[in-house]
Amino acid sequence: MTYQLRDLTGKVVIITGATSGIGAAAAKTLVEQGCKVVLNARNEDRLKEMVSSLGESATYFAGDCSIPDVARAVAKKAIDTFGTIDTVVPNAGIGFYGSILDHSDDDVNRMMRTNYEGTVHMIRAALPTMLAKKEGDVVIVASVAGFRGGDIEAIYTGTKHAQVGFAGGLDRELRAKGVRVALVCPAGVETEFALGVGRTAGEEKLKTYLRPEDVAFQITTIMRQPRSVRTHIWTMWSMQQDS
């Protein structure tokens, strides 16, 4: 008997950091699977372009999801437009490589708030709808840095450790309530991430990294698992990357 994966047709998914890289690839993949997507990022012009390309299965709310009122507005947009929320994918993230002393206070605070507070507040906003249905998925896009950071990413690593710890506690809280919590933890992905602050556009090593579509595939795979199954930590490297 063929293993029966879930049909995602009609499922409503919130994705943060949705205008490029992993978020954009996930939105495209999930719409192809029949999902309705609610996109969030800071850049409204790029969000409009995304929604235009995805059609009636997509809508957006622009703003910084680390601000609780913005996160709640994103969740409200999902309910007002598509009637419910089935999955939330906190994906918004930024990184500045270098010494702990290399960047401004504002940049350091923005990284910590985006990567961790944005995750927490978006989940808090989306969760009541899933709890009411006793079913849902939280798929947090973190990083392998959440388990072992390099010598030029201490603060970034701290934000990813925070996501990992948060997800572990959340999984233990929500499992009995029907909501699954998964972490997708890729190594380097060829995206706009950290360009100009540790990476250079067009550099050769980026060609050896994971592709955004690789991570989008894992997000979709987690969601398609039967509801009788939950998997929690997915770490990913390309064949060219050291682990």
Q: Which residues are catalytic?
A: 156
Q: Of 228, 35, 27, 3, which Cα lies nearest the Cα of 135?
A: 228
User: How many residues appear in the chain?
Assistant: 243
* Residue 4 dihedral angles phi and psi, to the nearest 5°: -95, 110
| E strand or H helix that includes residue 163 | helix 154-174
- Tokens standing for 181? 């919590």
Q: Of 69, 68, 81, which Cα lies nearest the Cα of 14?
A: 81
Distance, CA of 144 to CA of 147 (rounded, Å): 6
- Tokens standing for 94? 């930024």
Distance, CA of 55 to CA of 36 (rounded, Å): 10
User: Could you tell me which residues come within 8 angstroms of residue 224 by beta carbon, excluding any fewer than 6 positions away?
Assistant: 5, 6, 8, 33
Q: Of 84, 88, 77, which Cα lies nearest the Cα of 122?
A: 88
Whether the CB-CB separation of 226 and 6 falls below 8 Å is answered with yes
In angstroms and rounded to an integer, the radius of gyration of the C-alpha atoms of the chain is 17
